[in-house]
Chain A
Amino acid sequence: MKTFKMGGIHPEECKFSAGKKTEVISLPKQVVIPLRHYSGKPSIPEVAKGDMVKVGQLIGRADGFVSANVHSSVSGKVVKIDNALDAFGYKNPAVFIDVIGDDWLETIDLTPKVKRTCDLESSEIIKKIAESGIVGLGGATFPTHVKLSVPAGKKAEVLIINGAECEPYLTCDHQLMLEKGEEIIIGITILMKAIQVKRALVGIEANKPDAILNIEKWAKTVEGVEVIPLKVKYPQGSEKQLIQALTGREVPSGGLPIDVGAIVQNVATTFAVYEAVQKNKPLIERVITVTGKSVPEPGNYWVRVGTPLSHVVEKTGGIPEDTGKIVAGGPMMGRALPNLEISVAKGTAAVLFIPSSESGRGKVQNCIRCAKCVFHCPMGLEPYLLMNRSEKNLLDELEQNRVMDCIECGSCSYVCPSNRPLVDYIRYGKLKVGELIRSRKVQQL
């Protein structure tokens, strides 16, 4: 079975909500739609206080290249445009909308019929994706149209679809692959057309045999799409690792997937592309997993972007008694939340409740140089060294030891027997070295 070559871990899978049919969560009284979705610049608000909006209406226009449009996920009245806490714990501009009814824009095709043919040209598809505000739903939320725009001089050879879902607990992509197999495959063909490639590889971890069967079944109806089961190993779904697992090519250090002719998209993104291109529906809702060891009924839910997490939690059985930590996203790379007033963003894949018995960190002890971090690093780095140099602020040495290659997957912290906060420091070091590199570039100009 295919997998990436170096490092990796296998944490307890805990996919409690696997196979749970997606349910639709009722609309909240008010939504808070962030204008900034993790990476890139916040978009410029297109509505003002007091405006009435419909579902799917543009409320934020992309500002600059690495930015994405934002659409209203509900119909109702704009209460205010103000700063709101996001999952990063900082305040960023957001649009507050009071929900009135559920009135969709007429242009959006709401019929359940699957539309298989797409006559649009490559550039038209990319334009439509950009207009619909689609971002990568795997977590990094990088605007999809930017990823699809192949830079001059480079050529895409293969489209890679990430259905690995290697994070423990998460099942949202899994469930989507089970329920929307046909749409995903059509989305893949649209993406193939957009970047003009003849071949697409869908990588799915082997712990989802039903999803593999379903996607394979639909893949036979089109040409050039191949489903490849992957070994269950974290971080299989990381871009560079996935490319290596599926094609055997290594993205050079500091490079992008396009350097080896690959473009990676998540399955959920692919589904969003289908809806945007075939149904005219912008990205206003997504599947999220609500799960945790003491959650009585873990499940997968369709949630409108901007729904406060407190509403999601209320509708899905409330907060378990022993909760110590609430994480937006998976346990390896998700973000711990200071409260539940934060709303669902485009990249929120899950709400994970961690019982208080497991929410604390172990006591930090001396590094015993067991080299487990080095052996498990999927990027072939030396986390112990990087942590030490970050602690001492030795930025030159950090850069020489390729701190910028770190994908922050957390494998090193996960395996460390001394509970050392390796990624915490490395992330800090990356930030500092990043600043250094940027300032150097500025000086050169």
Chain B
Amino acid sequence: MNKLVVSPSPHVHSGNSIQKEMKSVLIALIPAYLVALYYFGVGALIVSVTSVLSCVLFEYLIQNFILKGEKTITDCSAIVTGLLLAFNLPSNLPIWIVIIGALVAIGVGKMSFGGLGNNPFNPALVGRVFLLISFPVQMTSWPRPIPFNPAYMDAETSATALTALKEHLENIPSALDMFIGNMGGSMGEVSTLALLLGFAYLLYRRTISWHIPITILSTVFVMTGIFYLVDPQTYASPLVHLMTGGLMLGAIFMATDFVTSPMTKRGMFVYGIGIGVITVVIRLFGSYPEGVSFAILIMNAFTPLINTYIKPKRFGEVRKK
């Protein structure tokens, strides 16, 4: 018989791994990806493949030649970052801009802090915001959704619902179109339905908990609802706010990023409310039509503070009656 193994308890493990968690996220992203492929066609395919490939490649190169640390490329987190980055980009973005975005996301957003687990900001959002500031024109011209669109960079463009709201245009898509995703926007954010399906899957697999997304969505709903009730002429209905822009994508997939979100339920509520409030403030009063990315990044910066000061409810922490 071989030598017996001795180790401290517990002697069993759930079998969970980073790779499995990341795969669940990837599976949860499939519905939204299918919708993107349907409405934005070839462009969506090119942008997403470029983004994923370059994210994986950059992570591999940085790990191998600069950090020379442990190889963790197989944990699939670079694929998730790449896909999320692509979801946040318009499908007619030139390839070279996508590659720059991937380099910033992986190189600056993630690896410069020491890889997965150490980054304070969501890498995909770092990439996206970098591109939004550097290439505002390309980043804000969204193609019109046409089923199986064969065009890539020369696709016909249209304004998003939020831009339309901001500039008080009349052609806001119908509620049904917004729900299934038949509108202009970043390739992964358009379909509320598909994103909710992904959310349901993540909850079923217990990859994420409901706290962050539900808090963000309800905060946005309540705040915009108040404004809508006060002045329905100027402000759009809360439902429109929920279904447009990157709110669903951000609340479900970006804000819940393990590394950059708080670790206690109470902390998650604070974080969610913060994101919701900042989003609404930027949407209604800021110069950008969309504020989810900025809101998440700002709250990412508060996460360590939240983790330090907001503790979970301890067992036995009862006030004596």
Residues of A within 8 A of B (CB): 6, 9, 11-12, 89, 168, 240, 244, 250-255, 319, 323-327, 331-339, 352, 354, 356, 358-362, 365-372, 374-375, 377-382, 384-385, 401-402, 405, 408, 410, 413-419, 421, 423-424, 427
Contacts and interface: CB of A to CB of B under 8 A. Distances in A.
18 contacts: A11-B14, A244-B315, A250-B315, A252-B318, A324-B5, A325-B5, A327-B11, A331-B10, A336-B4, A368-B259, A370-B21, A371-B263, A375-B265, A378-B315, A380-B317, A405-B316, A413-B13, A417-B17
B206 to A, nearest CB: 8
Nearest to B209: A375
Given A253-B316, A325-B7, A365-B75, 19 more contacts: A11-B14, A250-B316, A251-B316, A255-B316, A334-B9, A334-B11, A336-B4, A336-B6, A336-B8, A359-B11, A371-B258, A375-B265, A379-B315, A381-B312, A384-B263, A410-B9, A410-B10, A415-B14, A421-B8
A325 B9 contact: no
A382 B317 contact: no
Most buried by B among A354, A366, A381, A421: A366
Contacts of B13: 361-362, 413-414, 419
Contacts of B11: 325, 327, 331-332, 334, 336, 352, 354, 359
Contacts of A380: 312-315, 317
Nearest to B320: A252
Contact of B2 (A354, A356, A371): A356
Nearest to A340: B4
B313 A371 contact: no
B116 A366 contact: yes
A327 B320 CA distance: 41
B16 to A, nearest CB: 4
Interface in B62-104: 72, 75
A192 B10 CA distance: 34
B10 A423 contact: yes
Interface in B230-279: 258-265
A374 B263 contact: yes
B14 A331 contact: no
Contacts of B5: 324-325, 336, 356, 359-360
B305 interface: no
Given A326-B4, A368-B259, A414-B12, A240 B316 contact: yes
Contacts of B318: 250, 252
B289 interface: no
Contact of B258 (A89, A369, A381): A369
A425 B314 CA distance: 20
A11 B259 CA distance: 25
A289 to B, nearest CB: 15
B168 interface: no
B136 interface: no
Nearest to A334: B9
A219 to B, nearest CB: 29
B314 A253 contact: yes
A254 to B, nearest CB: 8
A368 B258 CA distance: 6
Nearest to A421: B8
Nearest to A401: B311
A410 B13 CA distance: 10
Interface string B280-321: 000000000000000000000000000100011111111010
B117 interface: yes
